[in-house]
């Protein structure tokens, strides 16, 4: 049984920084994890790269040879990955044990986890290989400056949840850069009447019914919750990691080690 995190979120939400901090945290605990780069446009890394999609295909090559733009080129790269799962990914996974823990650092284009089936097919391939996978969705906490942006972030996260059909942990990243944390705290445990009131103040009256439906979706069904992450605090990283481990039941099927405390017989 293998374990995996699929780290997704909008561009600039701190996915690679999260992966780097997670690697350092686990290294200090002497816990082995392996970070996989799935971004064909990535250039620099603050963590050892266990597997790299650029060994299969890179965005620069696609843009130069096929004349695609950045977004079209990235979609082409990810579709090429999908076509080579049985070859490239199979060969790479052979280098790891059945109980290894992999963290996939994904590109930031939202269409990859909202309606294009590439990541969904990638996840299904991992699951067929007996991996338990958790989706880790990062949203920049500095983006949450008002209720409309908060609702937008919730809807993007919900779209990914529906598309990928995975256990899901939503993270507000870059909390160490937020100057007024009280504004963020108001959205960690939102209440529908407050959300609705704020939405109505920000939107025209014609959106009243839509505002009510969105506020009730977030509040009553409790489908999207965000966990704040402050990378300066080891306790914050550990809390997020424990939530993810719980989602994929990491370590629960480990063999119980029994120690014999009976004293040895003198005749032995």
CATH of the domain at 168: 3.40.50.300
CA atoms of 241 and 250, how far apart (whole Å)? 10
On whether residue 208 sits in a domain, the answer given is no
On whether residue 239 sits in a domain, the answer given is yes
On whether residue 40 sits in a domain, the answer given is yes
Domain range enclosing 15: 2-180+223-247
On whether residue 200 sits in a domain, the answer given is no
265 band by pLDDT with thresholds 50, 70 and 90 = low
Where does the chain have alpha helices with state H?
15-28, 59-66, 70-83, 90-93, 111-114, 118-128, 147-164, 181-188, 192-202, 208-219, 234-247
Q: Give the pair of three-digit tokens for residue 75.
A: 């979609």
Residue-wise pLDDT tens digits, 84-113: 998 999 889 888 877 899 999 999 888 888
Residue whose C-alpha is closest to residue 26's, from 241, 218, 252, 225: 241
Residue 234: pLDDT above 90?
A: yes
On whether residue 53 sits in a domain, the answer given is yes
On whether residue 79 sits in a domain, the answer given is yes
Q: Give the pair of three-digit tokens for residue 67.
A: 């004349």
Work out how many domains the chain is built from and give that number: 1
* pLDDT for the residue 75: 92
On whether residue 207 sits in a domain, the answer given is no
């Amino acid at each position: 049984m293998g374990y995996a995190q699929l780290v997704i979120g909008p561009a600039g939400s701190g996915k690679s920084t999260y992966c780097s901090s997670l690697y350092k945290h686990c290294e200090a605990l002497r816990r082995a994890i392996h970070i996989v780069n799935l971004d064909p446009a990535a250039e620099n890394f603050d963590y050892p790269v266990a597997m790299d999609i650029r060994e299969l295909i890179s965005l620069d090559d696609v843009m130069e040879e096929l004349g695609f733009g950045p977004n079209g080129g990235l979609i082409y790269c990810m579709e090429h990955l999908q076509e080579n799962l049985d070859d490239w990914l199979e060969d790479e996974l052979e280098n790891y044990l059945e109980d290894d823990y992999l963290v996939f650092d994904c590109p930031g284009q939202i269409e990859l986890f909202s309606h294009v089936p590439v990541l969904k097919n990638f996840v299904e391939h991992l699951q067929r290989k007996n991996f338990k996978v958790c989706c880790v969705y990062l949203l920049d906490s500095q983006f949450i400056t008002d209720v409309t942006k908060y609702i937008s972030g919730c809807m993007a996260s919900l779209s990914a949840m529906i598309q990928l059909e995975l256990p899901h942990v939503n993270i507000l990243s870059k909390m160490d850069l937020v100057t007024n944390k009280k504004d963020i705290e108001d959205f960690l445990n939102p209440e529908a009447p407050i959300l609705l009131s704020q939405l109505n103040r920000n939107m025209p009256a014609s959106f009243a019914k839509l505002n009510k439906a969105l506020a009730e979706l977030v509040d009553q069904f409790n489908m999207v919750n965000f966990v704040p992450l402050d990378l300066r605090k080891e306790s914050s990283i550990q809390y997020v990691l424990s939530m993810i481990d719980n989602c994929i039941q990491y370590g629960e099927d480990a063999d119980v080690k029994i120690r014999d405390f009976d004293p040895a017989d003198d005749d032995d």
